[in-house]
Structure 1
Amino acid sequence: MQITKTNDNDSLTIALKGRLDTLTAPQLDAEIQGKLDGVKSLVFDFKNLDYISSAGLRILLMAQKVMNKQGSMVVKNASSEIKEIFEVTGFCDILTIE
């Protein structure tokens, strides 16, 4: 999986490419764990994300909990397959998906 981070003042966009699964979730966790201080707007761009597993969903949930206290979080450009995973797991009720 490839992670691209773009900072713009108090906004952070994280674009993911490939698969967010058990093998790659720790990589994303390391990129955001304790590094969201001062971020008021967090955007995950899933345009090039092919798959997300429960391990990836856990990372999103953790990020959402942090952002609930300090700003907002949005998931953008998710494929229909990933949106379906969000619906089946109930994450569509937890996350803001555009």
Structure 2
Amino acid sequence: MQLSKKQEGNQLTVSIEGRIDTTTAPQLEGELKHAVTDEVEKLVFDFSKVEYMSSAGIRVIMSAEKVMRRQGGMVVRHVNEDIMDIFEMTGLVDILTIE
């Protein structure tokens, strides 16, 4: 997994490439803990290059959503069909803002 972060004002965009699984989820979680400061009011995930996401990845995304619910909001963008199927099967489509 590779990720890049871009902060513009109070918005942080995190672009992820590759797999979010038990091996890479801790890396993503660590990066988010350092990057999502009190100043971040909107967190945007760019999933255009995410190939796969396991339950470990779902846990990290849900943890981020919980934090951002208190600070502002979170959006997941450019979700491919396979990841959207995961979101639908787990009921996350009803919780997350997906564009």
Instruction: Compute the TM-score of the two structures, normalised by the length of structure 2.
Output: 0.96
* 1:2-81 paired onto structure 2 within 5 Å: 2-36=2-36, 37-81=38-82
Q: Quote the sequence identity (%).
A: 50
Cα distance in 2 between the residues matched to 1:92 and 1:33: 24
Structure 1 residue 51: deviation in Å? 0.5
**SS state at 2:4 partner:** strand
Corresponding position of 1:87:
88
Deviation track 1:57-97 (CA, whole Å, cap 9, x = no partner) reads 00010000000001010000010110000000011111000
Letter in 2 for 1:19: R
- Show structure 1 runs of 5+ residues with no match: none
Deviation track 1:12-40 (CA, whole Å, cap 9, x = no partner) reads 00000000000000000000125322101
Letter in 2 for 1:61: M
- Show structure 2 runs of 5+ residues with no match: none
Letter in 2 for 1:4: S
Stretches (4+) displaced over 3 A: none
Cα distance in 2 between the residues matched to 1:19 and 1:35: 20
Count of equivalent residues: 98
Instruction: Compute the TM-score of the two structures, normalised by the length of structure 1.
Output: 0.97
